[in-house]
Structures are given as structure tokens and as C-alpha cells.
Amino acid sequence: MRDQFHDQLDSVFGDLAAICRQVETAVSQATKALMTGDVILAEQVISADAEIDRARERVEESSFNLLSLQQPVAGDLRTVVAALRMVSELERMGDLSVHVAKIARLRVPEIAVPEAARETMQRMAVVAEDMVVRVSQIITTRDVEAAIALGRDDEEMDQLRRTSFAELLSDDWADGVEAAVDIALLGRYYERIADHAVSVANRVVFVVTGESPRAAS
Amino acid sequence: MRDQFHDQLDSVFGDLAAICRQVETAVSQATKALMTGDVILAEQVISADAEIDRARERVEESSFNLLSLQQPVAGDLRTVVAALRMVSELERMGDLSVHVAKIARLRVPEIAVPEAARETMQRMAVVAEDMVVRVSQIITTRDVEAAIALGRDDEEMDQLRRTSFAELLSDDWADGVEAAVDIALLGRYYERIADHAVSVANRVVFVVTGESPRAAS
């Protein structure tokens, strides 16, 4: 009975890693759509989100079945509940990629990110995407060290966000209100993707060690 | 055994309603701080958030104990898992109130919301706050009709957000980039508070009826 439980639990974590790879694609394509004004790619991110939602529902059903039929206790119970939370966060990261794609689509044939904001925004996108890639691996390997390191790297995102605000509030900003509002919201979306990535990594730490890293609070 | 379970479950829902009332206070005080530039009130919202976080931890512990010691199945199991999700959303609503309070604090002695954006922003705040007040009641009474009605009223928030963008992107906007960025982010925070309120209400519908309202998707 316990073996069957752990097989099913592994399968749930396999599904979580697969959803995380779908999120990777969403973040990467949304960024490309944003930076190039590619409306077809933006549409693709928006329509692919329904698959992430369905995958989330399947993980929720599997987790409920595990709770209901196998009645896990202690660490096993906490692991299943952690899986339920991780899948909510992954879905949310998909939604945030859709928000990025929608801003890209809204500005076509223009490009939402003006030259003056491009370098910082591109770096935010790279940091966010890299964190999502690493979270997929962390879910698969349950590597606690890597999970804790991810939490530390979130600081670069905070710094980039400050840089981005400084750019659009400087006297040199010549791209007007609309671009500034887009940049502020895009920055917020990438920052939230990174926050959720850290949170998912922290849940992996909790699943493996039974304790949350300090950074989780 | 079942009676003890349902008593404990009622107590968890009582705690959820209490947290929701703390969120009510946070939203209301953050808005007041924002609209009047009251830095002391803003600080109060920011520091009170730790209490919401602690209350969330207590609900999580109680819910785990319920799952672990009472091993609920079927509807009872789904209700406990719903409570765990509701408490995450309520905590998030508290965090969003803190974001509003931080923008208020950042602009003191100025007021972040210029005259041209004031009416719409005030209305967004009123709608968000009203939704939080109604969610407290919905958690307590488990009133499915009221919960479904809440989902419908979310449309006013979407409309207000469009109005707010139209204001700050109009040729008449004379308040510059910084105020526009503040307004865009504040609008986003109130919108997310409303989204979470709808989501919590939908979970109450699910707890009572076993089904999610269509609006939940």
C-alpha cells in the first residue's frame, strides 16, 4: 500500500515538473513576442494557457485521490498538500506569462518595450526564465541546495526592478506615459513569476527536509 | 468523532472569517492612507500584516491536524483543502493592501493619486473593500447566492480598470509618468484584491455545493 502511494506521489511530481516546463515555454515565448512584436507567438502563449489549466486540474484530482484513498499522515500528507500548492503557483506563473503576451499583442505593430528600457527588461525576462528552468529541475531532483540558491538569486530581480523604475522616472525618459505604464506592469509580472518560482522551490525544501527555508516567510 | 471533526472545521472557518476581517481593515486603512497621505496609517497597515501571516500559520496548522488526525474523506476532505487555499488567498489580499500602503508612504508628503485619477481610484477601492466585507459574511453564512453574486460584481472592477487606463493615457493627463505608474500599479493591486475575493467566494460555493460556479475558471 505504501509503495503504491509513493509511486503515485512520484507521478504527481512528474506532472508538476511537466507543467513547469510548459510554464518555461510560456515565459520564453511571451518574452520573445514582447521583444519582437510577434503577434502570432503572443496568441500562441495566450491559447496554450488552457492546457496548463487542464494539467493543473489533473494534478488536483490525482492529489485528492491520494489523500482520499491512501489517507497519508505526517510527511506524506504534507507532501501531497505541498503538491496542491505548487500546482496553484505554477498555474499562476502561466497566467502571468499570458499578461506579458497580452501587452505584446496590445502594442502590435509597435513594440511595447522602448530602447531605453530594453536592456533591463530583457535581463528581467532572462532572470525569470532561468528561475523557471531551475525550478523544473528542482522539482525533478528535489535538490535542496539548488532550491535554497534560487531564493538567494531573487535579489537580482529586486535590483532590476529598482533599475527599471529609475529609468522610467528619470528626466531622460522620452517615451511617454503609455510605455512607462507598460514597463511598470511588465516588471511587476516578471517579478511575480520569480516570486512564485522561489515559493515553489521553498516548498520542495519543505517536502524534503520538513522545514521551510528562512527565505520562505 | 465526526462531531468533533465538524466542530473543529467550524472553528477553522471562524478563523478564516476573522482573517478576512483583518484584511478588511488593511484594505480600508491602506486606502485612507493613500487618499490622505497619512504615513502613520500606512505604517500601521504594513506592520499589522505580520498578524495576518501568523493567523494564516495557525489556520494551516489546524487544517493539517484535521487532515492528519481525523482523516476526512469526500466532501469533508475537500472542505479542509478549500480552507487551506482560502487562507493563502486571504493572506495574499493582505500583502496587496501592504503594496497600496507602501505606495502611499513612498509619496508622502505628496498624495500619490492626483485629482484627475481620484474618482476612479476611490471607486476601485470602494468596490474592493465592499467585496472583502461581503466575503467575510459569505465565509460565515456559507451563502451560495451571495457568493455567486460577488463573482458577477467583479465586472465593475474590470470596467473601472479600463476607465483608469483611459484617464492616464488621455491627452489631458497632466500629472506625468510617476503618477501614471503609481495609478497603474494601484489599479492592479485593487483588481487582484477583488480577484482573490471572488476566488474565496467561489471556494465557499464549492464547499457547500460540491461544484465550482462557472465564473471560477
Beta-carbon separation of A74 and B84 below 8 A: no
Among A67, A180, A217, beta carbon nearest to B181: A180
Beta-carbon separation of A180 and B180 below 8 A: yes
Element (H, E) at A80: helix A74-107
Residue B31 has pLDDT above 80, yes or no: yes
Q: What is the dihedral of CA B203, B206, B211, B215, to 10 degrees?
A: -30
**Which residue in B has a C-alpha nearest to residue A174's C-alpha?**
B177
Rounded CA gap, A78 and A96, in Å? Answer: 27
Backbone angles phi, psi at A116, to 5 degrees: -65, -20
On chain A, the residues whose CB falls within 8 A of the CB of B64 are 77-78, 81
Among A73, A169, A217, beta carbon nearest to B177: A169
Among A68, A88, A165, beta carbon nearest to B73: A68
| pLDDT tens figures, A53-80 | 999 999 999 999 999 999 998 899 999 9
Question: How many CB pairs below 8 Å do chains A and B form together?
Answer: 63
Rounded CA gap, A122 and A178, in Å? Answer: 19
pLDDT at res. B2: 57
Among A68, A85, A177, beta carbon nearest to B77: A68
On chain A, the residues whose CB falls within 8 A of the CB of B185 are 184-185, 188
* Residue among A68, A193, A90, A77 nearest A139 (CA): A90
| pLDDT tens figures, A41-54 | 999 999 999 999 99
State ipTM.
0.93
**How far is B186 from chain A, CA to nearest CA, in Å?**
11
CATH architecture of B2-216: Up-down Bundle (1.20)
Q: Which residue, chain included where needed, has cell 459574511?
A: B137
**Which residue in A has a C-alpha nearest to residue B184's C-alpha?**
A181
Per-residue pLDDT averaged across B101-124, rounded?
A: 97
